[in-house]
Structures are given as structure tokens and as C-alpha cells.
Structure 1
Amino acid sequence: MGYLETAADFYSEVAQTPEVGLCCVQSSPLQLPGLHIPEAMQEMNYGCGSTVHPSELINEPTVLYVGVGGGLEALQFAYFSRRTSGVIAIDPVAEMRSAAARNLKLAAESNLWFDPSFVEIRSGNAFELPVPDESVDVVAQNCLFNIFEPADLDRALAEAYRVLKPGGRLQMSDPISTRQMPLHLQADERLRAICLSGAMTYDEYTQRMIANGFGQIEIRARRPYRLLDAPSYRLDQHLLLESLDSVAFKVPIPEDGACIFTGKTAIYSGTEVVFDDRAGHILPRGLPMAVCDKTAAKLFALIPNECMITPSTWHYQGDGCC
């Protein structure tokens, strides 16, 4: 049995018998005014972080949610797209689709603003998304793509790119590994299905997005997720997994490479009122300017004695320059 079949069987089980705290980092989901999460939906919070970033959700976007789970984030997205089929949620597991539909009906009882028609649940998978080219504003997935082997991850990322409108956003939350995952763990289908052994390193993960056409990546959060202890997992030393929340934009890749924002700033300390690098970056003296990692490196190389680069905060919400 392949790892995808193992994952499907596992999520069929936890759809019918919820496994509380299976992989979530947050003890409670994002809270919003007037939003009430049914207990049954909370029990099926199988994400490793959050893909719902309110700053990304203006103008009632059409959201394609891949891997509906218990419907929690589909409900949160519907909070911003309050219209029929504003959220399209797909899942290949029939039991999970049924559980999400039940949970969304419960949500309608405690959320006067919500109608179950706001979330359209469809059968489908990440490799063949059941929507036309360039038809959605946001594609989101939480703790799903990390279970894919590299070739399958590329297929999923390419499909997300296909269905996004130009300028659209791929919002993801996945575990990453602080070093290369050992082969014996990668080969364990059960550990991969429960989001422990398919994690790539940060560099591998972000470069896969870029290789599939995404020209800008912004890191929303990076935090500890799980520790694989050496004795239990037959390792030479403990292995820390982290949860990474990211937003990748369907914009062209610049000639000098994609922009990745990790919360760095550049601060000019020279004698001029402002510094202009003649490449689109103007730094007022003494004031921090958010920059992507690529620009940070270029500025430091250009004026190393007059430019402070602050460390990555692993949290970025926009503004600045690339």
C-alpha cells in the first residue's frame, strides 16, 4: 500500500473517531468577532498552524481549501467570503467530507451570519483540483502538503499555481525539519501520514515553491512543532520539527531571483538623509525598512559599514520593499 493510501485510511479513521490534539500547535483556533467554533469542529483541528491571515482576505476572495478536515478553517475563510461557494473545500476522503458537512451545519446553528452554502464541499485531490485555470484568489492547505513525497509536492504546487488568478496567493501551514529527515523515517508511511516524517528543510520547502513559479514568499510564522527524540525514532540526536506558516504569491520571478520575506529590516546609518541604491530601495537614515532576504544581502554587500541588517523574526505582514 502506498503512502497516499495509508494517509487516506488514517484520515478516514480520525474523521469517524476524532483524535483530539493530533497535530495542532495552537490550543485554540483563530478567534474572530462573532465567530463561534462548534466543539466537534474544534476536536478535529488537525492543522499544524494557521492559513487564515485576515490581512490577505479583503474583497470577499474566492478560496479553494485543499483537504477540508473538520471544516474549521473553511468556516474561518467563509467569515471573510460571506456568499454561496465563496469557499470551495475539497477532500479525497468521503468520511472527512461527511464530517465537515455535519460540522458546518452545527456551525450555522451558532453563527447567525453563516449559511452552509458559503462552503461548497467537493470530492477531489491536490493533484487534480476540480476548478478551472486562474479561477480562485486563494488556495490554502494546512498540514497536508508535508506528507507528499517530493515529486508529488511539485504536482500539488503546480496545480495550485494553475488555478490561482495572477497575483493570487497560496497560503500554507506545514511542518519543516531543522535538518534532513533520515531515510528510515521518510519511508515510514504511518509517520508520514501523521505529519512527522515527510517534513523537508526550510530551504528545500521554499525552493520547491519558487521552482513551481511563485515569485514572492512571505513567512507569517515559524515556531517549534514536535521533537523527534533520539531513542524513540532511532536517531543519533534529537530532531526538532517546526511549523511554518507562509504565503506564496503568483507573481513573476524577478530576474535576480524570488523574494522571500522573513521579517528582516535594513537600517541605513550613513551621512546622507536617505540612501538610494538606484535599484528601487530608498532607506531613510536611522529608520528600519522591511526588506526581503535577497535585498538585505545586496544592501549589506553594497554598504557594509553603513547598513545594519536585523535578524529574521520569522514573522512578516507586508510593507517594505523587495
Structure 2
Amino acid sequence: MSMTDSPTTAYNVEHYNVEQAVLDRYQAGAQQVEASLCCPTEYETHYLEVLPDEILEKDYGCGDPSRYVNPGETVVDLGSGAGKICYILSQKVGETGRVIGVDFNDTMLALARKYQAEISAKIGYHNVDFVKGKIQDLALNLEKLQTWLNAHPVKTLEDLAALETERDRLRLEEPAIPDNSVDVVVSNCVLNLVRPQDKQQLFREIFRVLKRGGRAVISDIVCDETPTEKIINDPELWSGCISGAFREEGFLEMFEEAGFYGIEILSRQEDPWQVIDGIEFRSMTVRAYKGKEGDCWERHQAVVYKGPWKQVRDDDGHVYHRGQRMAVCDKTFQILTNPNSPYQQDVIPILPHQDIPLEQAKKFDCQRSTVRSPQETKGANYRETRTHDAPVCGESSGCC
């Protein structure tokens, strides 16, 4: 299935404004608690102790991506709302980390910022900032654009052209979130609220801002079947995280199409959150990594897949047979064996006896046989003989 045919992008909702329906609903949710916007979620409670009740009550989500963030990291929270996830992350990344919340809703931004100084005083440092922007356009700081617009109101076509020029300048020279600048992008039940025609751009933006080796951890609402026309054409269901829900398999495909690897389901709600017209809607959290782009170099490395499957295939079509030394390029070797890799617990790295410096490496032949001969790893002239007297088990030789 191509992404143009995907159930995540095929909606026809041009007869009403999806963004306005979402904005209106969440502005109301910032002023008065809306329980229907929230999917029951358990958070690590000790991180909630510093948060005021107003944030806890008026922040809506369906999962907890903050569980998968580490100290010292720079994190962006897409659709940060009242700021609950940001303030949890603030404590998790610590004083050396940084958290950036991005939201388009002025009322939610005001609520999140209202307690910023108070929470910073409680934890002993300030590492959270909130930016007004659309999560499908993370380069454009809308508050900076609004400041410019206040000083240069648009009255003519020439004024409009000047506005567009300033918008492009801000994206290029003063991006809200620069390229390759973030360790982790998280989001909690927000991606489904983006217009269908903007969803692919949204995933490209997540990919753009992540550093090589960075990752996205996204909690969102998915469905087991494509929503009906009745569901799709209901503005209330759009703003209620239903109409824009991803098909389960389509959600994973969106990451793959954007260039991510190591895509895995971290959690999937067993009982559906809602069932409408026989279609089940539930929470799912997915993690995906950036970093497989680049050239392939031959350094005589190999990996052995441990099992238990007879064979597995990665996102680039490489097949790994259980127990066999599989030839891989340096890039793939690093992806599979890095201590932070999602694969490292499943493979055994096999390094060559003589290191080939990267600057001396030749291009890896992706069409070659996938099995790496032991002689190739050891070198054609390897003739070492090594013997030992038979030891007694338990002696310091450690043979047994």
C-alpha cells in the first residue's frame, strides 16, 4: 500500500476546518476539565508531586513517552498542552538536559508557562521552554512571526509577499527547532489531530530535527480498521482524537516512509479506549530511530543473529540467518551493535582481526553474498596455531 492510499492520509474533510475544530476544543479544555479528551494513563507518580493540580487536571494524553528518556538529553514534546509531560521530562533529563514544548494553542501555552517559575524553584533549575508553533512545521516560531506581523500589518499583496519572505527567513535563519539538534522527540496523543494532508510532512519534521542516532517516542491513538465516512466527517470526533487516528499498521508505515529504522511497538492498550461503529480505538506507543542514511563501507565486519527466529529481515532488506556470520557494512554494523541500539541484545558482533580504518575502506558491495567467511574476517594469511595443555576444570585457566 502506498502512503497516498494509506488510511492515515485518505480522509476527505475539506468541508470543515480540522485545525479550528481542534483549537476550539483544546482551548475549552484548558479552561475547564474535559475528561473525554483523556485516555486512562499511568505516570511515574513521584514526578507528578511538583506539579500543580491545574496542570494535572487539564493536560490530556493517552500514554507516557517520558518513560523512555534519559538524563542529559535534549527533548522536544510535540503538542505540549498544559505542560505535564514537559515538566516530567524536566526532572528526568536533569539540570544538564533541555526540554522544549511546542504547541499552537495560546490558552494551553499560557497555562503551561503560568507555573514555570514555581516548578523551576521546586526542582532547583530551569530547563524547560515553550514555543508556539505547528508540530508539522517545527522550523517556524509563530510568536516571532506574530511580532513581525504586528509591526507590519498586511494590507496589500506587496505586504503579503513581505510576510511570506519574513516567514521563510525565520525558518532559515531563526528556526524554532534547528536541524539535527534533538536527542528525543516525544508526543502524547497529538499526531492524530494534524490534518491528513499534513501528516507526512509532520513525520519528515520529526526526522529533520533529530540528531543522527536520535529517536522518536510517540504515544497516540490507533484504530484496527479505517474510520467510516460518518466518523471522518464529524468535527467533534476529530477534536476528540478519533477521526484522525492512525490505522495500526499505517502508524508504523509513516515512520518507515520518513526514513526511521528500529521501529517497535513499546506498548499497546489491550482493551480499546473507545469502540465506534465496530471500530476499535486504543492507545499505542512506538519508538523509532534516525541514523541509517549514508554510504556503506567494507570493513570486514559481521554479525551473528542469536535467534530465536530462523531468520529476520531489517528495514533495508538485509536478511540475518540464525547462527550464521552475516556480512554487513560499517554503517549497519554500528546500527546493530551500538550499546543504545534496539538490536544489540539480539546479535553477536564479529570484528576483523585487523582493523580497516574508515578512510581506507572500500565501498561495501550490497549485492555480494550475505554470509561472511571466517577467513575473510581473520584475513587470508591468518595461519596462527594456539594450543594449551588440557586443564583441569576449575583451575585458574578458566577453560571450564
Q: What range describes the TM-score normalised by the shorter chain of this pair?
A: 0.7 to 0.9
Q: 1:167-316 to 2 correspondence within 5 Å?
A: 167-223=213-269, 224-229=271-276, 235=277, 238-252=278-292, 280-283=303-306
Would the aligned equivalents of 2:218 and 2:285 in 1 still touch at CA under 8 Å? Answer: yes
Please give the secondary structure, in 2, of the residue aligned with 1:207.
Answer: helix
Deviation, structure 1 residue 293: 7.4
Unmatched 5+ residue regions in structure 2? 1-15, 139-175, 296-300, 325-341, 348-400
1:41 maps to 2:55: yes
**Inter-CA distance 279–206: structure 2 relative to 1 (3 Å threshold):** farther
Deviations 1:197-247 (A, max 9, x none): 211211111101110111221221001342224xxxxx3xx2211211111
Would the aligned equivalents of 1:171 and 1:248 in 2 still touch at CA under 8 Å? Answer: yes
Q: Hey, what's the Cα distance between the residues in 2 that align with 1:15 and 1:34?
A: 18
Deviations 1:132-174 (A, max 9, x none): 1111111111111012243311111111111111111111100
One-letter amino acid of the counterpart of residue 15, structure 1: A
TM-score normalized with structure 1 length:
0.73
Q: Hey, what's the Cα distance between the residues in 1 that align with 2:29 and 2:35?
A: 9
* Aligned twin of 2:81: 69
Q: Hey, what's the Cα distance between the residues in 2 that align with 1:74 and 1:31?
A: 15
Deviation, structure 1 residue 37: 3.3
Q: Hey, what's the Cα distance between the residues in 2 that align with 1:44 and 1:6?
A: 18
Deviations 1:34-90 (A, max 9, x none): 953322221123011111124x414x1111111111111001110122338811111
Deviation, structure 1 residue 125: 1.1
Deviation, structure 1 residue 251: 2.2
Q: Hey, what's the Cα distance between the residues in 2 that align with 1:79 and 1:73?
A: 10
Q: 1:52-91 to 2 correspondence within 5 Å?
A: 52-54=66-68, 56-58=69-71, 60-83=72-95, 86-91=98-103
Please give the secondary structure, in 2, of the residue aligned with 1:172.
Answer: strand
- Greater Cα offset, 161-170 or 78-87: 78-87
1:320 maps to 2:345: yes
Please give the secondary structure, in 2, of the residue aligned with 1:46.
Answer: coil
Percent identity of equivalent pairs: 25
* Aligned twin of 2:151: none
**Inter-CA distance 13–292: structure 2 relative to 1 (3 Å threshold):** farther
Deviation, structure 1 residue 279: 7.0
Q: 1:6-17 to 2 correspondence within 5 Å?
A: 6-17=21-32
1:5 maps to 2:20: yes
**Inter-CA distance 283–81: structure 2 relative to 1 (3 Å threshold):** closer
**RMSD over equivalenced CA pairs, Å:** 3.2
Q: Hey, what's the Cα distance between the residues in 1 that align with 2:294 and 2:225?
A: 29
Please identify runs of 4+ aligned residues in structure 1 that moved more than 4 A.
291-295, 298-303
Deviation, structure 1 residue 21: 5.7
* Aligned twin of 1:271: none
**Inter-CA distance 165–198: structure 2 relative to 1 (3 Å threshold):** same
Would the aligned equivalents of 1:127 and 1:156 in 2 still touch at CA under 8 Å? Answer: yes
How many positions carry a matched residue from both structures?
A: 270
TM-score normalized with structure 2 length:
0.60
One-letter amino acid of the counterpart of residue 242, structure 1: R
Deviation, structure 1 residue 302: 11
Would the aligned equivalents of 1:40 and 1:103 in 2 still touch at CA under 8 Å? Answer: no
Would the aligned equivalents of 2:306 and 2:322 in 1 still touch at CA under 8 Å? Answer: no
Deviation, structure 1 residue 9: 1.2
One-letter amino acid of the counterpart of residue 281, structure 1: V
Please give the secondary structure, in 1, of the residue aligned with 2:40.
Answer: coil
Would the aligned equivalents of 1:21 and 1:46 in 2 still touch at CA under 8 Å? Answer: no
1:113 maps to 2:123: yes
* Aligned twin of 2:180: 134
Deviation, structure 1 residue 282: 3.5
